[in-house]
């Protein structure tokens, strides 16, 4: 019952500001506002435990601690919590943690981990009176009594209701009780449905309501949760608030009330502030709804974003397409928000509605005053459009014994908008069967035939969701067929691949046949193993984390996620022992500590689980005592809320080979840590071309990892390090500077591939990524193993090589080794390109110039992988090319490489260069994801090259002027044809007397009236420049 800082909500500064503002709605001449003000100056009151007769370390939904919370008068500055146990024999013992100071909410609190199981009483004593505190007698601490955790500490909003009692939204006069000052209280419980009583215990008798009752509901909302969550609304009208700067504080206590079971409780202090309705959000469950309507959730929050409890919610509809101009619904009160500030309503009409929270006593919507939000729902006629198969928790692997109780698989019918749809076609009602299903079993055993079940119609009808019945050994002979159609032989269900098919048949129902996407699962017998083997060493008076896995039997058996694994610790085997499970706060995710020697763990996505143990420290003058413990795991059950054991008789008998163990056990030896003398690292490249061997015949590369075998040796007391013994089960850490670490493998066939890259035909070489640092152990074999892999790294791009450093640390000793990965030895070529070299023109290229190209090849991770051989060709009979290798070959480039291909042409044309390569490929094969080599050819083309003629140099137009005189003089100007189109003018004595343009032959004739008689006239002809010729002028005297 820990008071998490996360739940405190507002910052201390914000709370202080509101405390100064006070609660004006409760103004009074009295001043009983702080917790201290309700007590005598030196008095102490224990608020938790208070309403309890016991304490319990059962997980309350947040933790396994016990909450100790007290109030003290104004003279009290600190409180010490103490306890008595059967062992202490009447002596008060200090609770670990020492003196506790008053917090911002006016209380003294401590979260107590691992209280003694023989606890009989607790007390709180102040700094003013260390011998006489308030005592609460308790029943012995257990780990099974239900517990509760409040979430009300910190800033707690108070909603001052402005509504009159006559506002009866449900038509029943006088039952709404809407006048008051309301707080919403929340919490969690250790049970999915646990009755709880919430009381205010610091200001008793001052408020309208001193307590309210609530019952928690399944916290995860699935119906399968093991913890619950509750909310309740309490009216604290009558609370005497501050008229000055004192904080308005309140202490709430929540106590379980589970039948005859001994109660437990929790308490929290809060600082109150007045809420102002600020924001309303209206969220439809779906934009589309059937005729029954769609659910809309209206949430009301205050100025601090906190939910407002008991706020009045209404609906407004504007004027529709009718004859009047008034709103269709000016404001209808729908109800009041719950402790979460929410009200859920059903909208049964098409269109958009405005949902608002009343800030006054007026029922109608006051736009601009009442915060509001809109929600739109579209009503439609549903039909079955989808059939969906679901496994509990989206699991993909199962123990055969999980098939017995028929609660693992469901089939759901959805309509065209993806909403659950109950077609109500149950065969029992005389209608057609809504869904059919069948199993197809592909046994793991070599040569075993595939077995196909007849279509079944007995799925349990749950409306839109149908539950697939149990599948047991006896179903084989009666319902399954061999590939040739003959009946399957009687026997046990085999391990293998199980595919579930489902359909909504096209018989008697509208909409036609609808098939589900088949779902395939790995199925077999499961077992629990510990990662470190049968024995592990741990440092005495320290901590140790044991790791195990629940998985199907066989090599690389699929892990079973989300299952519950009971854990029992037997301390001191063969002698004394005080090891215990570490406190809940120190445990890995998924672990629930029940008591010092019992816990449960929920398996992760890969079926793994971990639990932390601790061997208590001893004083410095006490010699540590070695200890031997046994950690037992199992038998596993189907889940936290399902105690069905995975150790049953369905399917292949668990007692036959391969043995599926009901439990796993690990011996943990707590001893003084050996002194490490040396660490050796042996490296071996996992060759995909020689996948079953560890002969180390290839070069490390992206997709070609390196196996590490690590031996840690300990000092044996002599001066010869060569005979130091290898240490068993010795912890160590492996780190890499680049790349990542993957699970240990001795050959390429053993390598663990990444999820999504392990299907037949996938490119091989994507490995499971465990990060850059892994804690492991030398294990029973005295050798630790890990695999080093690398994928994308920009360091490859300049020369194809990246060197990373492996660092192994054990017992204060560190050893390093460098590994160079060379991408020239990549196993799968990815994207390739043949592109113009840097600095080359991007457009057309002039005939006679050279155009350089780079060939770039990448690996499957996107690294530039140069030095890959390619043969170059082109598609032109005019242009040509040259390469930097003989016989038209070249090697692909790095970023530092020069161009390896040059194209050229002596005449205009188009040209495309082509690079042809045969890199081969390594893909995931059909057997255990082992690598398989394949032939693979790759062709890549350049963008087309357009060769164009270059621009011609300008020339002399060679202008010549001739003429013949007469009454009209004819002046002829002749130039070369390249001057065609040039502008031409003719001049006499500086005056232009004619103009024109040279024709296609470069000629023009001017006719000018003679004004000089028999005298000669000098005519000057000028022509302008063209793209091919210069400007020019010439003259001629004509008589």
- Site of tokens 């101009």: 325
Residue 427 pLDDT:
42
Residue 29 pLDDT:
37
Residue 290 pLDDT:
75
Q: How many other C-beta atoms are found inside a 10 Å radius of the C-beta of residue 718?
A: 9
Question: Following CA atoms 587, 593, 596, 599 in sequence, which dihedral angle do they give, to the nearest 10 degrees?
Answer: -110
pTM score, whole prediction: 0.62
Residue 444 pLDDT:
85
50 with 154, same domain: the answer is: yes
SS in 3 state form for 456-522? ECCCEECCCEEECCCCCCCHHHHHEECCCCCECCCCCCCCEEEEEEEEECCCCCCCCCEECCCEEEE
Residue 419 pLDDT:
82
177 with 224, same domain: the answer is: yes
Residue 143 pLDDT:
63
Domain count, the chain: 7
Q: Which domain holds residue 157?
A: 5-274
16 with 158, same domain: the answer is: yes
Complete DSSP assignment for 585-614: GGSPTTEEEEETTEEEEE--TTSEEEEEEE
Residue 334, CB half-sphere, CA atoms under 13 Å: how many?
Answer: 24
Residue 132 pLDDT:
65
* Residue 629 belongs to some domain of the structure: yes
* Residue 423 belongs to some domain of the structure: yes
Tokens of 94: 């200090």
Residue 661 pLDDT:
64
Residue 16 pLDDT:
35
680 with 610, same domain: the answer is: no
Cα 497 to the center of its chain, rounded Å: 28
489 with 546, same domain: the answer is: no
540 with 471, same domain: the answer is: no
Q: Identify the CATH number of the domain in which residue 557 sits.
A: 2.60.40.2030
Residue 431 pLDDT:
44
Buried b (16+ CB within 10 A) or exposed e, 255-275: bbebeebbbbbbbbbbbbbbb
665 with 726, same domain: the answer is: no
- Write down which residue in 609, 643, 671 finishes a domain: 671
- Residue 360 contacts by C-beta under 8 Å, 6 or more apart in sequence? 162, 366, 369, 370
Q: Give the H/E segment covering residue 799.
A: helix 796-799
- Residue 637 contacts by C-beta under 8 Å, 6 or more apart in sequence? 563, 564, 566, 643, 644, 645, 646
Q: Specify whether the CB–CB gap between 242 and 35 falls below 8 A.
A: no
CA-CA distance, 560 to 378, in Å (whole number)? 42
* Residue 611 belongs to some domain of the structure: yes
Tokens of 297: 């959730």
798 with 711, same domain: the answer is: yes
Residue 354 pLDDT:
94
- Write down which residue in 242, 274, 306 finishes a domain: 274
* Residue 953 belongs to some domain of the structure: no
Residue 565 pLDDT:
95
Q: Identify the CATH number of the domain in which residue 710 sits.
A: 2.60.40.10
Q: How many other C-beta atoms are found inside a 10 Å radius of the C-beta of residue 423?
A: 21
CA-CA distance, 201 to 48, in Å (whole number)? 10
Tokens of 937: 């050819």
Complete DSSP assignment for 885-914: SGGGEEE---TTPPP-EEEE-SSSEEE-EE
* Residue 211 belongs to some domain of the structure: yes
Q: Specify whether the CB–CB gap between 790 and 765 falls below 8 A.
A: no
776 with 908, same domain: the answer is: no
* Residue 955 belongs to some domain of the structure: no
Residue 384 pLDDT:
86
- Write down which residue in 509, 524, 539 finishes a domain: 524
Q: Give the H/E segment covering residue 797.
A: helix 796-799
Q: Give the H/E segment covering residue 313.
A: strand 312-317
CA-CA distance, 121 to 137, in Å (whole number)? 4
Give the dihedral sign, CA 726/729/731/736.
Answer: positive
375 with 483, same domain: the answer is: no
| pLDDT-flagged residues of the chain (< 70) | 1-32, 51-52, 130-133, 140-144, 165-178, 208-209, 218-226, 259-262, 321-325, 424-433, 507-511, 555, 652-662, 694-697
741 with 714, same domain: the answer is: yes
* Residue 868 belongs to some domain of the structure: yes
- Residue 1004 contacts by C-beta under 8 Å, 6 or more apart in sequence? 972, 973, 984, 996, 997, 998
245 with 393, same domain: the answer is: no
């Amino acid at each position: 019952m820990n008071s998490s800082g996360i739940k405190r909500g507002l910052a201390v500064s914000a709370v202080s500001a509101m405390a100064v503002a006070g609660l004006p709605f409760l103004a009074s001449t009295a001043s009983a506002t702080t917790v201290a003000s309700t007590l005598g100056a030196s008095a102490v009151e224990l608020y938790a435990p208070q309403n309890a007769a016991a304490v319990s370390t059962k997980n309350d939904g947040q933790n396994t601690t016990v909450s100790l919370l007290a109030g003290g008068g104004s003279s009290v500055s600190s409180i010490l919590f103490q306890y008595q146990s059967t062992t202490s024999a009447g002596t008060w013992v200090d609770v670990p943690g020492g003196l506790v100071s008053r917090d911002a909410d006016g209380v003294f609190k401590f979260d107590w981990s691992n209280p003694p199981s023989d606890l009989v009483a607790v007390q709180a004593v102040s700094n003013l009176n260390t011998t006489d505190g308030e005592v609460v007698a308790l029943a012995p601490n257990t780990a099974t009594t239900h517990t509760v955790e409040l979430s009300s500490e910190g800033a707690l909003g108070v909603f001052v209701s402005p509504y009159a009692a006559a506002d009866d939204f449900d038509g029943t006069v006088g039952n709404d009780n809407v006048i008051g000052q309301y707080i919403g209280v929340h919490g969690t419980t250790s049970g999915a449905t646990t009755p709880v009583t919430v009381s205010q215990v610091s200001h008793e008798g001052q408020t309208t309501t001193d307590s309210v009752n609530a019952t928690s509901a399944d916290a995860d909302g699935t119906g399968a949760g093991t913890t619950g969550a509750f909310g309740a609304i309490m009216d604290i009208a009558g609370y005497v608030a501050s008229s000055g700067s004192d904080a308005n504080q309140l202490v709430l206590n929540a106590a379980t009330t589970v039948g005859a079971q001994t109660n437990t409780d929790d308490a929290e202090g809060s600082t109150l502030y007045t809420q102002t309705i600020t924001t309303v959000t209206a969220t439809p469950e779906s934009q589309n709804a059937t005729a029954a309507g769609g659910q809309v959730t209206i949430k009301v929050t205050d100025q601090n974003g906190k939910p407002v409890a008991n706020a009045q919610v209404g609906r407004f509809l504007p004027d529709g397409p009718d004859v009047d101009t008034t709103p269709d619904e000016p404001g209808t009160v729908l109800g009041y928000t719950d402790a979460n500030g929410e009200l859920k309503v059903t909208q049964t009409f098409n269109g958009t509605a405005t949902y608002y929270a009343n800030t006054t006593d007026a029922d109608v919507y006051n736009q601009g005053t009442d915060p509001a939000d809109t929600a739109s729902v579209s009503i439609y006629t549903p039909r079955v459009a989808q059939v969906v198969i679901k496994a509990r928790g989206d699991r993909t692997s199962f123990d055969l014994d999980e098939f017995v109780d028929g609660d693992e698989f469901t089939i759901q019918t959805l309509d065209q908008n993806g909403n659950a749809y109950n077609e109500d076609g149950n065969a029992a009602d005389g209608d057609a069967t809504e869904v059919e299903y069948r199993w197809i079993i592909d046994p793991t055993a070599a040569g075993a035939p595939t077995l196909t079940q007849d279509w079944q119609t007995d799925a349990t009808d749950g409306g839109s969701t149908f539950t697939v019945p149990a599948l047991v050994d006896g179903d084989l002979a009666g319902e399954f067929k061999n590939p040739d159609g003959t009946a399957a032989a009687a026997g046990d269900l085999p391990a293998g691949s199980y595919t579930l098919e489902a359909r909504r048949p096209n018989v008697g129902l509208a909409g036609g046949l609808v098939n589900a996407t088949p779902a395939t699962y790995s199925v077999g017998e499961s077992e629990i193993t510990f990662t470190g083997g049968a024995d592990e060493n741990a440092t005495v008076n320290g901590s140790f984390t044991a790791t195990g896995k629940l998985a199907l039997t066989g090599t690389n058996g699929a892990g079973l996620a989300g299952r519950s694994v009971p854990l029992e610790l037997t301390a001191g085997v063969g002698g004394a022992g005080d090891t215990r499970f570490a406190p809940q706060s120190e445990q890995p995710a998924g672990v629930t500590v029940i008591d010092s020697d019992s816990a449960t763990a929920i398996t992760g996505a890969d079926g793994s689980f971990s639990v932390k143990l601790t061997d208590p420290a001893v004083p410095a003058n006490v010699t540590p005592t070695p200890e031997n413990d046994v950690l037992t795991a199992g038998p596993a059950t189907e889940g936290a809320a399902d105690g069905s054991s995975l150790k049953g008789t369905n399917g292949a008998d668990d007692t036959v080979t391969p043995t599926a163990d009901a439990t796993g056990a690990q011996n943990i030896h707590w001893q003084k840590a050996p002194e490490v003398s040396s660490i050796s690292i042996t490296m071996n490249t996992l060759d995909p071309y020689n996948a079953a061997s560890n002969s180390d015949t290839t070069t490390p590369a992206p997709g070609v990892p390196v196996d590490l075998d690590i031996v840690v040796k300990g000092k044996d007391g002599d001066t010869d390090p060569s005979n130091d013994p290898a240490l068993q089960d010795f912890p160590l850490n492996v780190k890499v500077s680049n790349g990542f670490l993957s699970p240990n493998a001795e050959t390429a066939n053993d390598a663990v591939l990444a999820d999504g890259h392990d299907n037949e035909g996938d490119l091989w070489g994507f490995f499971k990524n465990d990060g850059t640092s892994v804690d492991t152990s030398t294990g029973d074999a005295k050798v630790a193993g890990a695999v080093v892999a690398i994928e994308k790294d920009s360091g490859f791009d300049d020369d194809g090589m990246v060197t990373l450093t492996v660092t192994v640390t054990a017992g204060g000793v560190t050893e390093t080794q460098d590994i160079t990965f060379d991408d020239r030895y990549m196993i799968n070529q990815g994207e390739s390109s043949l592109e113009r070299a840097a600095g080359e023109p991007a457009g057309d290229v002039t005939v006679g110039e050279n155009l350089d190209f780079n060939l770039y090849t990448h690996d499957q991770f996107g690294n530039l992988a140069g030095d890959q051989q390619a043969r170059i060709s082109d598609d032109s009979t005019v242009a040509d090319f040259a390469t930097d290798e003989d016989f038209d070959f070249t090697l692909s480039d790095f970023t530092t490489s020069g161009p390896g291909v040059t194209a050229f042409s002596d005449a205009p044309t188009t040209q495309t260069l082509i690079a042809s390569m045969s890199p081969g490929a390594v893909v995931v094969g059909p057997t255990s994801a082992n690598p398989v080599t394949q032939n693979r050819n790759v062709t890549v083309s350049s963008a087309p090259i357009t060769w164009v003629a270059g621009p011609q140099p300008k020339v002399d137009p060679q202008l010549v002027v001739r003429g013949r005189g007469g009454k009209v003089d004819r002046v002829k100007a002749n130039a070369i044809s390249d001057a065609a189109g040039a502008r031409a003018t003719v001049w006499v004595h500086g005056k232009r007397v004619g103009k024109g343009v040279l024709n296609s032959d470069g000629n023009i004739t001017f006719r000018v009236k003679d004004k000089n008689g028999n005298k000669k006239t000098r005519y000057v002809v000028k022509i302008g420049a063209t793209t091919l010729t210069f400007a020019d002028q010439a003259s001629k005297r004509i008589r």
